[in-house]
Homo-oligomer: A and B are copies of this chain.
């Protein structure tokens, strides 16, 4: 269900019944997201929510000293701006574009209106939020118990699942920021993967050559998250 086959659509919108989607369609605005762009700052209210298409957005927790960690990845399967309909309006985390591309944008108020109609959209968004909860929880465990090697594999696979090709545009420096480790640590781990013939790395472009190989090295956290997304956001279960 969540196989990355159709990047013309956002999975959430795709799961929405026609009638419900009809309310929103006229207000969906396609926008281009550039690498590093911020969609949401800590404690600031968002004017819009975003439904990524071929772009990836990272939710980051940034600390006072500037150190950061990614707490979740959002791609075509999700929405950026959960706090709007959850009622808090803001979050302490940031949303940064991690892979440039496109997204549908929707005025926050319009989303809230649709959400509070308590129909299919609400049910869908809540299920998605639960998937997000799982991703965050698993990130917390992974940060505690797994090596940088494993986490890098997890990160590559989670990102890859949200991209159309097998190439990723991302420097090691940025990956290090996401994982909350040193850049050198990423260099080393990526070097191992490259020597093993799983990826090929070149100045900010990562090509994944042997995906099954990555899957063999990744910790269980990847599959736990993936399985939960599949379960929660699946045609048969959702409606």
Q: Which residues of B contact A127 (CB under 8 A)?
A: 86-88
Interface residues of A in 57-83 (CB under 8 A from B): 59, 61, 63-64, 67-69, 71-72, 82-83
The stretch from A17-25, A95-103, A140-148 touching chain B is A140-148
Q: Does A130 contact B (CB under 8 A)?
A: yes
Asked if residues B93 and A137 are in contact (CB atoms below 8 Å), the reply is yes
Give chain A interface residues in 165-222, CB to chain B under 8 Å. 180-181, 220
Interface centre among A85, A131, A144, A220 (most CB of B within 10 A): A144
Give A68 to B228 CA distance when docked, in angstroms: 19
Chain A residues 99-131 with CB under 8 Å of chain B are 116, 118, 123, 126-127, 129-131
- Are B134 and A137 in contact, with the CB atoms below 8 A? no
A140: chain B residues at CB < 8 Å are: 61, 69, 71, 136, 139-140, 143
Indicate if A92 sits at the interface (CB-CB under 8 A): yes
Measuring CB to CB, which residues of chain A are less than 8 angstroms from any residue of chain B?
59, 61, 63-64, 67-69, 71-72, 82-83, 85-88, 91-93, 116, 118, 123, 126-127, 129-134, 136-141, 143-145, 180-181, 220, 224, 228, 231-232
List 30 A-B residue pairs with CB atoms under 8 Å apart, sorted by A's residue number: A59-B137, A61-B138, A61-B141, A63-B145, A63-B220, A67-B145, A69-B144, A82-B130, A83-B130, A86-B127, A86-B129, A87-B130, A87-B232, A88-B232, A91-B130, A91-B133, A91-B134, A92-B228, A118-B118, A129-B133, A132-B133, A133-B136, A136-B140, A139-B140, A140-B140, A140-B143, A143-B143, A143-B144, A144-B181, A145-B180
Pairs of residues from A and B, 5 with the lowest C-beta to C-beta distance, nearest first: A140-B140, A86-B130, A118-B118, A144-B180, A143-B143
